[in-house]
Amino acid sequence: MSRETHTVNSFEELFRSNYSKLCHFAMQFLNDNDAAKDIVQESFVTYWNLRERLSDAPEAIVSFLYSSVRNACLNKLRRQKLELGYLNQQELDPAEDAVALNAMIRSEVLSELNKVITTLPESCQRIFRMGYLEGLKNPQIAEELGISINTVKTQKKRGLELLKLRLNPDFFALLSLFLIK
């Protein structure tokens, strides 16, 4: 396999493993799915064009992609403000940094959660997604799946227990903040 082929395969893997979470990250800024996808794709193209000048450490690449997406989103928002006549000449607001960091953490947590959820038994996985990710109530899940409410409760509890076993305790605690309301 040539170096070029290996690089392309590595890029495809990088794209597959980060595209959806970067889109989710961009959506939290823009609330526009198409614009978010465009920005993420442009960030990957930018990375590809600059790859020989950048570190090839996976953490550095992901950091570059998040920074590129964040900056492109903020630039798009600023351009929109300018077009509307509301140009703000101030430096980047620290609150924007906090929002960006929270959005990045949420994207990473949900990405990890989805990976672990796929390891759950199929029925448990379906009920867990419906209850915790889609926000359906136990009676709604029971009715939609044609099962008892007790089965729904049992499967949700089983799902949480399995996640707790499969996740780092600190990560599970962080995840609990997102799931349990």
Q: How far apart are the first and last CA of the chain?
A: 50
Q: Which helix (H) or strand (E) holds 156?
A: helix 149-166
Residue 107 is assigned to a structural domain of this protein: no
Residue 130 is assigned to a structural domain of this protein: yes
What CATH number is attached to the domain comprising 85?
A: 1.10.1740
Together in a domain, 89 and 147: no
Together in a domain, 50 and 4: yes
Q: pLDDT per residue over 27-67, tens digit each? A: 988 989 999 999 999 999 999 998 888 888 888 899 899 99
Residue 73 is assigned to a structural domain of this protein: yes
Q: Which range, of 7-11, 49-53, 127-131, 145-149, averages the lowest pLDDT?
A: 7-11
What is the residue range of 24's domain? 1-95
Together in a domain, 91 and 7: yes
Together in a domain, 9 and 78: yes
Residue 106 is assigned to a structural domain of this protein: no
Give the number of other CB atoms < 10 A from CB of residue 135: 9
Residue 82 is assigned to a structural domain of this protein: yes
> In the structure encoding, which two tokens stand for residue 58, read together?
């996976």
Together in a domain, 3 and 53: yes
Residue 13 is assigned to a structural domain of this protein: yes
Together in a domain, 55 and 87: yes
**Total count of domains within the chain:** 2
Together in a domain, 4 and 85: yes
Quick one: pLDDT at residue 131? 87
Together in a domain, 7 and 65: yes
Together in a domain, 82 and 131: no
Q: pLDDT per residue over 74-115, tens digit each? A: 989 888 877 766 444 445 566 667 777 777 877 777 777 788
Together in a domain, 6 and 49: yes
Together in a domain, 14 and 49: yes
Question: Is the pTM here over 0.75, yes or no?
Answer: no
Together in a domain, 61 and 18: yes
What CATH number is attached to the domain comprising 129?
A: 1.10.10
The per-residue DSSP string of 27-68 comes to: HHHH--HHHHHHHHHHHHHHHHHHGGGS---HHHHHHHHHHH
Residue 28 is assigned to a structural domain of this protein: yes
pLDDT at 181 over 80: no
Q: pLDDT per residue over 150-176, tens digit each? A: 999 999 889 888 878 877 777 667 666
Residue 113 is assigned to a structural domain of this protein: no
